[in-house]
C-alpha cells in the first residue's frame, strides 16, 4: 500500500507555499523539514495577546496593546539615521510612533494626518512620554478585525522572521485533511479529546497561555497519536523479527556445566533468569532479538559468555562487538581465563591487529577454528567471514546505528541477536528505544560488592583532597581522577586532564600517576590502562573515556572534578568503575560554587542512591528525554509532539493499545487497521508498513 492519496497535499514541498522562494525554502527545510506536514509539528512556544484595548493613558509600559488613535503630526528627521516620528492621540493622551529606516512618503500614506487608525504593538516610554516602535499592525478602523487577537509565537532560526513563519504555518494548516478516527472512540470520550484535525488547529491557535502546555487536551491528543505511531511501528518490527525463521541452536550443556563449576562466584538470580531466557530464545526456531539491560557492574559479560557457550556447543560461532577497543579488551580479559579452561578458541579483532596476525585471524574465522570473536567496528568489515555464525552480541547498542547491527547479523544465516547496555534507561525510554526487542534486566549486584560512599566536596577544598589522596596512596590504594575536558578551552574554565596530570606528577611522581584520554592512540591508551590495572601506576587521570566497561577491581577511590557539569547517568557510569572489589570504595564529587539548582539536585541524588534505574528515572525528569542518552546518535527517537517526562502514562497506554491492535488484526486489514496505516504514514513510519504482507 502506497501513501494514501488524502495525505498527498501535506507531503508536498514547503516550496509550494505562497511567498516561499528558494532562499526561504532552504532555511525552513534545514530548520523544520522539507514537507508541509513538518510545519504541523512545529508548535508555538508562547502567545502575543492583543485583546487589551486600553486608552493611551492606561497603556502600561512593556505591555502589548491595541489602541485606536488619530494622527496629529509627522516629524521627518534631517539625518537619515535618526527615526521618523508620528505623533498620535486619543481623548486621554498622546503617543509617539517611532520608525527607523522608513520612507516618509510611505508613512504618510499609511498614517495620514487627521485620520483614525488602529495600531498594535509594545508600549515603551521615553522622558515620561509613551512610545511604540515599529507597530506590528497599522489598519483603518473598518479593518480592525484583521488584527489577530491572539498570535502564536514559534521557535525561530536566523534569517527567518516570526511573521513569515507564522504566515507559512497558517497557510500549511489550510491543507490539513480531515482524517477519520483511528483512536478507540470510548478512549477519546474518556479523555475528552478533539479529533486529530481539530487538535492540530487548536494547538496552532492558542487563546490562553494554558493552551501551550503539554498537558492541554489538544497537545495530549497529538502526543498520543505520535506515541501510538511509534509503538505500532516498533510492534510491527518486533512481530516481523519474531516471524523470521531462525535456526534452532541447541547446546548439549557440557560447556555450560563446566563453566558453572569453574566460575569463582555464584550467579545472581537475575543473571540466572537472563541466561535461561536467552537459552530459550536460542533453542526456539525463531530468531532471537533480545536486550540485556544491566546496571553498572551487574555482570552482563558473564551472561553473554554463557550464551556464547550454547552456540559453541552447537558447533557454531559467536561474536561480540564493543564500541571501543578498551571495552573489547576488557571483555576479552573477563572471558579468556574461563575459555582457556573450557578449551575454547577465543580471539580479538580490532584495528590494532594488522599484517600476518590479522590474516591468520581472518583465515581461522572463515574455516571455523575460532569459536568466539570479540572486537570493535573492525568485526563487520567486508573481508571478515565466519564459517557458521549463530550468535551476535552488541555491547552498548546506543553507540551503534541500525545498519551496523544489520551488517553484523548478515555475517551468518538467521543469526540470533543479543544487545547489551549498561546505560540504565527508564522504562518509558526503553519502550521507545528498544520496543522492538524482548528485554532481560539485571537488577542485582554480584555477591560481595560493598556499597560506595559518595561525598560532595567543594573545589575550594582541593588541598584537603590532595592530602587524603596522599594517605590513600601510602596505603597502596588505586585511584581514578576524572576531568571533563582534554585540553583547556577559552570559554570553559575546566581543569583539563593534561594540565591536571602535569600538576599531580609534580605533587606525587611520574611513576605514580598515569593519563588516559580519547585523543591518545589506542596503543597508548591500552598501555596506560594496563599500567594502572597491574598497579605500576596508582593514580589514573582520565576523561570520560573510562566511563564504560573499564574493570579494575583494585580501584577503590574516584574523584570527579566539576561533577556538576556531568549528567546523572554519566556520573553513575563513572562511579560504577569503583566498588568492584572486596574493599570499601569512595567517590568524591568535586563541585564549583557557581552551580545551578539542577546540578545541585543531581549531586544530591548521587549521594542518596546507587540504583541506576532510579537515577535514570530522576535524570529523565531533570533533563528530559532528548539529552538523556547524550546525543542524537543514541538511537533515541526525537519526538516532535510528545514529551516523555510528561506523557509517560500515554506511552504505556500506546504500547498496550498497539499490542492489542496487532493481536486482533496482525496485518492491519480491518476498518480501524486501514486508518492506523494512515496514522503510520502521517508520522513517516513507512518502513513498518513495508513489513505488512501485501494484499
639 occurs within a structural domain: no
Query: Looking at 609, 631, 665, which one is the last position of a domain?
Result: 609
pLDDT digits (tens, 9 = 90+) for 234-282: 888 888 877 777 889 988 889 999 999 998 888 999 999 999 999 999 9
Residue 118 C-alpha cell reads as 488602529
Between CA 317 and CA 256 the distance in angstroms is: 15
Are 117 and 137 in contact by the 8 Å Cβ rule? The answer is no
pLDDT at position 624 is 57
CB proximity list for 395: less than 8 A, separation 6 or greater: 300, 304, 320, 321, 322, 323, 327, 331, 420, 421, 549
Query: Looking at 385, 408, 442, which one is the last position of a domain?
Result: 442
Same domain, 197 and 260: no
Closest to 662 measured CA to CA, from 643, 680, 644? 680
At residue 76's C-alpha, the angle toward residues 75 and 79, to 5°, is 130
Query: What b-and-e string marks burial along 399-435, b requiring 16 or more CB atoms within 10 Å of the CB?
Result: bbeeebbebbbebbebbbbbbbbbbbbbbbbbbbbbb
pLDDT at position 693 is 61
pLDDT at position 400 is 64
pLDDT at position 492 is 39
pLDDT at position 549 is 55
pLDDT at position 633 is 34
Altogether, the residues listed in the chain come to a count of 695
Farthest-apart Cα atoms in the chain, separation = 101
Beta strands in 127-241 (DSSP E): 129-133, 137-140, 150-153
Which 3-state string (H, E, C) describes 295-352? Answer: CCCCCHHHHHHHHHHHHHHCCCEEEEECCCHHHHHHHHHHHHHHHHHHCCCEEEECCC
pLDDT digits (tens, 9 = 90+) for 109-156: 999 999 999 999 999 998 889 999 999 999 999 999 989 899 999 999
- DSSP assignment of 583-616: S-EEEEEEE-TT--HHHHHHHHHHHH---HHHHH
Same domain, 592 and 534: yes
pLDDT at position 224 is 98
Closest to 679 measured CA to CA, from 236, 227, 186? 227
pLDDT band at residue 596 using 50, 70 and 90 as cut-offs: confident
Residue 651 host element (H or E): helix 648-664
Same domain, 158 and 13: yes
| Residues in a beta bridge with 419 | 291, 394
172 occurs within a structural domain: yes
pLDDT digits (tens, 9 = 90+) for 202-219: 999 999 999 999 999 999
pLDDT at position 494 is 41
pLDDT at position 677 is 96
Are 284 and 246 in contact by the 8 Å Cβ rule? The answer is yes
Between CA 170 and CA 165 the distance in angstroms is: 9
CA atoms within 13 A on the CB side of 468: 13
Sign, CA dihedral 607-610-612-617, equals negative
How many folded domains does the chain comprise?
4
Residue 385 C-alpha cell reads as 567471514
CB proximity list for 103: less than 8 A, separation 6 or greater: none
More confident call, 594 vs 375: 375
Three-state SS for 642? coil
Query: What b-and-e string marks burial along 64-99, b requiring 16 or more CB atoms within 10 Å of the CB?
Result: bbbbebebeebeeeeeeeebbbbbbebeeeebbbbb
Same domain, 415 and 530: no
- DSSP assignment of 212-254: GSTTSHHHHHHHHHHHHHHHHHHHHHHHHHHHSB-------SH
Between CA 173 and CA 192 the distance in angstroms is: 23
| Residues in a beta bridge with 613 | none
pTM (whole model) above 0.75: no
User: In this structure, what CATH number is given to the domain that contains residue 87?
Assistant: 2.40.50.140
At residue 303's C-alpha, the angle toward residues 387 and 358, to 5°, is 35
- Helices 300-313 and 325-342 pack at an angle, to 10 degrees, of 50
234 occurs within a structural domain: no
Between CA 193 and CA 393 the distance in angstroms is: 44
Highest mean pLDDT among 329-343, 399-413, 421-435: 329-343
Query: In angstroms, how far is CA 181 from the centroid of its own chain?
Result: 31
Same domain, 420 and 531: no
Closest to 214 measured CA to CA, from 648, 570, 667? 648
400 occurs within a structural domain: yes
Query: In angstroms, how far is CA 614 from the centroid of its own chain?
Result: 18
Between CA 337 and CA 636 the distance in angstroms is: 36
Same domain, 368 and 495: no
Same domain, 304 and 409: yes
333 occurs within a structural domain: yes
Between CA 370 and CA 633 the distance in angstroms is: 32
Is residue 469 exposed (0-12), middle (13-18) or buried (19+ Cβ within 10 Å)?
buried
φ and ψ at residue 141, rounded to 5 degrees: -60, -40
Of all residues in the chain, the percent with pLDDT exceeding 90 is: 57
166 occurs within a structural domain: yes
Between CA 291 and CA 417 the distance in angstroms is: 9
The strand order across the sheet containing 452-458 reads 452-458, 585-591, 555-560, 478-482, 539-542, 513-516
Same domain, 292 and 332: yes
CB proximity list for 22: less than 8 A, separation 6 or greater: 15
Between CA 627 and CA 641 the distance in angstroms is: 16
**What secondary structure letter does DSSP report for 547?**
T
Residue 326's CB is within 10 A of a number of other CB atoms, namely: 20
Same domain, 462 and 561: yes
Between CA 549 and CA 395 the distance in angstroms is: 10
638 occurs within a structural domain: no
Give yes or no for residue 457 having a pLDDT over 50: yes
pLDDT at position 634 is 41
Sign, CA dihedral 562-567-572-576, equals negative
pLDDT digits (tens, 9 = 90+) for 605-651: 999 988 887 887 787 777 655 444 433 334 455 788 998 778 888 99
Same domain, 423 and 506: no
Q: What is the mean pLDDT of residues 60-83?
A: 93
Same domain, 347 and 460: no
Tell me the chain's radius of gyration from C-alpha atoms: 32
Query: Looking at 147, 182, 203, which one is the last position of a domain?
Result: 147
Residue 583 C-alpha cell reads as 574493599
377 occurs within a structural domain: yes
Q: What is the mean pLDDT of residues 511-538?
A: 86
Three-state SS for 515? strand
Same domain, 297 and 417: yes
| Residues in a beta bridge with 13 | 35
Domain boundaries, position 177: 5-47+154-212
User: In this structure, what CATH number is given to the domain that contains residue 488?
Assistant: 3.40.50.300
**What secondary structure letter does DSSP report for 397?**
G
pLDDT band at residue 453 using 50, 70 and 90 as cut-offs: very high
Q: What is the mean pLDDT of residues 51-78?
A: 95
Amino acid at each position: 500500500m502506497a501513501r494514501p492519496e488524502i495525505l498527498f497535499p501535506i507531503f508536498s514541498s514547503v516550496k509550494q507555499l505562497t511567498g516561499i522562494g528558494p532562499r526561504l525554502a532552504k532555511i525552513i527545510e534545514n530548520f523544520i523539514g522539507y514537507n508541509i506536514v513538518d510545519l504541523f509539528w512545529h508548535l508555538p512556544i508562547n502567545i502575543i495577546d492583543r485583546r487589551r484595548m486600553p486608552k493611551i493613558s492606561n497603556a502600561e509600559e512593556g505591555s502589548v496593546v491595541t489602541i485606536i488613535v488619530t494622527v496629529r503630526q509627522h516629524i521627518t528627521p534631517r539625518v537619515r539615521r535618526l527615526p521618523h516620528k508620528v505623533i498620535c492621540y486619543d481623548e486621554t493622551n498622546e503617543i509617539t510612533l517611532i520608525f527607523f529606516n522608513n520612507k516618509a512618503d510611505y508613512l504618510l500614506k499609511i498614517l495620514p494626518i487627521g485620520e483614525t487608525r488602529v495600531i498594535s504593538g509594545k508600549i515603551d516610554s521615553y522622558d515620561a512620554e509613551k512610545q511604540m516602535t515599529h507597530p506590528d499592525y497599522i489598519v483603518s478602523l473598518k479593518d480592525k478585525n484583521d488584527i489577530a487577537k491572539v498570535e502564536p509565537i514559534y521557535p525561530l532560526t536566523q534569517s527567518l522572521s516570526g511573521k513569515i513563519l507564522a504566515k507559512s504555518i497558517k497557510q500549511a494548516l489550510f491543507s490539513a485533511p480531515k482524517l477519520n478516527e483511528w483512536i478507540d472512540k470510548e478512549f477519546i470520550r474518556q479523555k475528552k479529546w478533539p479529533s486529530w484535525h481539530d487538535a492540530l488547529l487548536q494547538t496552532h491557535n492558542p487563546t490562553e497561555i494554558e493552551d501551550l502546555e503539554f498537558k492541554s487536551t489538544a497537545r495530549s491528543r497529538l502526543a498520543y497519536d505520535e506515541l501510538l505511531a511509534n509503538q505500532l511501528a516498533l510492534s510491527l518490527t518486533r512481530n516481523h523479527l519474531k516471524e523470521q525463521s531462525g535456526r534452532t541452536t541447541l547446546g548439549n550443556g557440557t560447556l555450560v556445566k563446566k563453566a558453572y563449576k569453574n566460575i569463582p562466584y555464584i550467579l545472581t538470580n537475575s543473571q540466572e533468569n537472563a541466561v535461561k531466557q536467552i537459552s530459550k530464545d536460542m533453542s526456539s526456531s525463531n530468531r532471537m532479538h533480545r536486550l540485556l539491560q544491566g546496571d553498572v557492574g551487574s555482570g552482563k559479560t558473564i551472561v553473554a559468555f554463557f550464551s556464547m557457550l550454547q552456540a559453541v556447543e552447537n558447533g557454531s560461532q559467536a561474536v561480540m562487538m564493543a564500541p571501543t577497543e578498551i571495552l573489547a579488551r576488557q571483555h576479552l580479559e573477563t572471558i579468556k581465563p574461563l575459555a582457556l579452561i573450557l578449551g575454547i578458541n577465543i580471539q580479538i579483532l580490532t584495528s590494532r591487529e594488522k599484517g600476518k596476525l590479522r590474516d591468520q585471524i581472518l583465515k581461522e574465522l572463515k574455516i571455523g577454528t575460532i569459536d568466539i570473536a570479540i572486537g570493535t567496528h573492525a568485526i563487520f568489515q567486508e573481508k571478515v567471514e565466519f564459517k557458521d555464525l549463530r550468535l551476535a552480541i552488541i555491547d552498548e547498542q546506543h553507540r551503534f546505528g541500525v545498519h551496523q547491527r544489520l551488517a553484523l547479523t548478515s555475517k551468518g544465516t538467521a543469526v540470533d541477536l543479543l544487545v547489551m547496555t549498561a546505560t540504565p534507561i527508564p522504562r518509558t525510554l526503553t519502550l521507545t528505544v528498544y520496543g522492538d526487542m524482548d528485554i532481560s534486566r539485571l537488577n542485582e549486584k554480584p555477591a560481595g560488592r560493598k556499597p560506595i560512599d559518595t561525598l560532595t566536596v567543594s573545589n575550594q577544598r582541593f588541598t584537603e583532597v590532595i592530602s587524603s589522596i596522599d594517605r590513600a596512596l601510602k596505603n597502596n590504594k588505586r585511584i581514578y581522577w576524572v576531568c571533563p575536558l582534554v585540553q583547556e578551552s577559552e570559554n570553559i574554565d575546566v581543569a583539563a586532564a593534561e594540565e591536571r596530570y602535569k600538576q599531580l606528577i609534580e605533587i606525587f611522581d611520574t611513576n605514580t600517576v598515569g593519563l588516559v584520554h580519547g585523543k591518545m592512540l589506542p596503543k597508548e591508551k591500552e598501555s596506560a590502562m594496563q599500567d594502572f590495572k597491574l598497579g605500576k601506576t596508582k593514580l589514573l587521570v582520565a576523561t570520560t573515556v573510562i566511563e564504560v566497561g573499564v574493570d579494575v577491581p583494585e580501584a577503590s577511590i574516584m574523584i570527579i572534578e566539576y561533577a556538576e557539569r556531568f549528567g546523572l547517568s554519566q556520573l553513575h557510569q563513572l562511579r560504577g568503575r569503583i566498588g568492584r572489589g572486596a574493599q570499601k570504595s569512595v567517590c568524591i564529587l568535586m563541585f564549583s560554587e557557581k552551580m545551578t539548582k539542577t546540578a545541585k539536585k543531581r549531586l544530591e541524588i548521587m549521594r542518596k542512591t546507587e540504583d541506576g534505574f532510579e537515577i535514570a528515572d530522576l535524570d529523565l525528569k531533570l533533563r528530559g528525554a532528548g539529552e538523556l542518552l547524550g546525543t542524537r546518535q543514541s538511537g533515541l527517537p526525537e519526538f516532535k509532539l510528545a514529551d516523555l517526562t510528561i506523557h509517560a502514562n500515554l506511552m504505556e497506554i500506546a504500547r498496550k493499545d498497539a499490542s492489542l491492535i496487532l493481536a486482533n488484526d496482525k496485518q492491519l486489514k480491518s476498518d480501524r487497521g486501514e486508518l492506523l496505516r494512515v496514522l503510520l504514514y502521517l508520522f513517516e513510519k513507512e518502513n513498518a508498513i513495508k513489513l505488512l504482507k501485501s494484499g
